[in-house]
Every structure is written in C-alpha cells, then in structure tokens.
Amino acid sequence: MELIQLIIGGIASGCVYGLVALGFVLIYKATEGVNFAQGDMMMLGAFVALGLVNSEYWALPFIPGVILAAAIMGGVGYGVDRFVVRQIFGQPQFALVILTIAMGFVFRFAAGAIWGFTPLVLETPFAGRSLQFAGIIIGFEDLVTIIVTAFLTLGLWVFFQYTRIGLAAQAASQNQMAAYIVGVPVRRINSTIWALSGVVSTIAGVLYASKGAIDPNIGLLGIKAFAAAVIGGFGSLPGALLGGILIGVVEPVAARYLPSGFSQMSPYIIMLAVLVTRPNGLFAQIYAKKV
C-alpha cells in the first residue's frame, strides 16, 4: 500500500521531469543542439503564470492565465531562436551550450528581479484537495499532473503525426538537407519548435508549481530532466517521458527504502548505468544511412 502511494506520487513528479525532458528532446531533434536553459524556461514559465494568476499580481482566472503564460513563453522560445540562436548558426556546438547556459542565468536573475528570491506559491484551484479510495490518497495536483501530461503527449503525437507543420518538423529533424529541397522553410520550423518547447516547459512549470512553492532556482531541475532525456535516448519523445517517470518513481522509493543520499544520487546512477549498458538510451531510434 505504501509502495503504491509512493509510486503514484513518483509518477506525478516524473511527469514534470518528463515534460522538461520533452522540451530538451524537441529542440535536440529539430536542431541537433541542446538547450541547457530548458529548466530555466520551465521556471520562467511557472513565474509568468504566477504573475498572471496570483491575486497580488494580475489575478486572472487560472485556466486563461495559464494559457496566456504558455503563449507568452511560446513567444519567448520563438524569439530566442529567431534572434539569438540563429545568429550563431554554423558555429561549433559548444557556442550553443555556453549561450544557453548563459541564457539560463539571465532568465534566473530576471525572474529574481521581478518576483524576488523568496519562495512563492502559485494559487491553483486544486490546491490541498485529494481523492481517497482503498486506503490510497491521491492529491488533486498529482491527478491533474498525470492527466495533463497524458493529454499533452497525445496532443504532441497528433501534431507530429497528422499536421502539415508537424510532418515538416519530423522531416527537417530526420534529414535537414532533404527538407530544404522539398521546400520546407527549415529555419522557421526550428523557431516553431523552440516555441513549442517553451509552451511545454511552461505547462511543466505550472504543474511543478502546483505541488509547492517556487523560487528562481527551481530551474536546476533541468539537470535531472536532462538525465531523464539521456536515459530515454536523447532524440526519442516517448523515451524522454518514460525516462522522466522512471526517475520520478525511483527517487521517492529510494528515499524510503535506501540509506539517505541514494535518493538524490539515483537519477544520475540510473543515467550512468544506462549509458554504460545501452549507450543509445532505452528507446533509441537506430538507423544507419545506406550508401
């Protein structure tokens, strides 16, 4: 019973890791670059939502406020690619790494300057409520997290599988040159993917904030999400989500049954174990080009 309780809570927090990992993978697949500011984009998204929703700021109703926050962060993502990342196109990979790390710091201190560094609580309509059956207590925020993640994943799948832009984004990530020559505006698609990644991380941020207080340093969760993406096989969307859920579940279980310290180490131990045994991750797409 206790284990089931831990697992359900773990899945819910794993969903947040998974969504941030999804943001990493979206950008990696489209542009072959890693956005190390992903965690900070999640943090910024959570704060933008807080700024719009909380009663001491704009006091918008919850759902429209979150949608507006997601739209704003989509714009931020698009802008970052359009005006910053595109300028260093053709530079070594390392330039993008440093650039996004620096951008993460900028986000962090911008959020600190606006909302302060003391923890704040996002006002949600489902705070403090819970369901109870068969001796298991499920917090509303956990339930909402799992349901929202499921729908978001379904939505992304439909987007990539059935829409024109989604198919073009898949094509551009699989073979950029071929995408150019069939007429896909690759650079605009890349910016769209950055926007999408901003939206996904905002939703992750709101879900994270629904569980407790947030401060500008929660962006460091991005490192854990990065480990989740690596476990799933960087480049696989379902892999990123499942990697996140795996970490989310292992953490509380390790905290309960293993000596202290293991819980914090567990994501990285799993990552190392996966890298040693299956270097391409658990769900890698493997394809060798025929010549």
Partner 1 sequence: MTVLDIRNVETFYGAIMALRGVSLSVEKGEIVTILGANGAGKTTLMKTISGLMDPEKGSIEFNGTRIDGMDPDKIVAMGLAHVPEGREVFPYLTIEENLRMGAYTRRGADIRNDIDLVYSYFPILKERRAQSAGFLSGGQQQMLAIGRGLMARPKLMLLDEPSLGLSPLLTQEIFAIIKRLNAEQGVTMLLVEQNANVALHTAHKGYVLEMGRIVMAGSCEELRASDDIQDFYLGRQEETQRGQKRWKRRKTWR
Binding site for partner 1 (CB under 8 A): 164, 167-168, 170-171, 174-175, 177-186, 285, 287, 289-291
* 3-state class (DSSP) for residue 121: coil
Which residue, 144 or 171, is less far from partner 1 as judged by CB?
171
Tokens of 190: 């890349």
- Least distance in angstroms from the C-beta of 176 to partner 1: 9
Q: Collect all residues with Cβ–Cβ distance below 8 Å to 114 and sequence separation of at least 6.
A: 47, 51
- Residue closer to partner 1 by CB (options 137, 178) is 178
Closer to partner 1 by Cβ: residue 84 or 167: 167
Q: How far apart are CA 257 and CA 243, in angstroms?
A: 21
* 3-class DSSP assignment, residue 40: helix
How many other C-beta atoms are found inside a 10 Å radius of the C-beta of residue 118? 9
CB of 32 to partner 1, least distance (A): 15
Residue 240 CB-density burial (10 A; 0-12 exposed, 13-18 middle, 19+ buried): buried
Closest listed residue to residue 101, CA positions, set 226, 248, 230: 226
Q: Nearest distance from residue 175's CB to partner 1, in Å?
A: 5
d(CA 71, CA 1): 41
- Amino acid symbol at 243: G
Q: Looking at beta carbons only, is 97 or 167 nearer to partner 1?
A: 167
Smallest gap from Cβ 165 to partner 1, in A, equals 10
Annotate 18-39 with DSSP letters as a single string.
HHHHHHHHHHHHHHS---TTHH
State which residue, 122 or 168, has the beta carbon closest to partner 1: 168
Least distance from partner 1 to the Cβ atom of residue 195, Å: 19
Least Å from the CB of residue 178 to partner 1? 4
Given the complex with partner 1, which of 264 and 285 has the nearer CB atom?
A: 285
In this structure, the dihedral spanned by the alpha carbons of residues 205, 208, 214 and 216, taken in order and rounded to 10 degrees, is -40
Task: Kindly state the tokens that stand for 175.
Answer: 């073979």
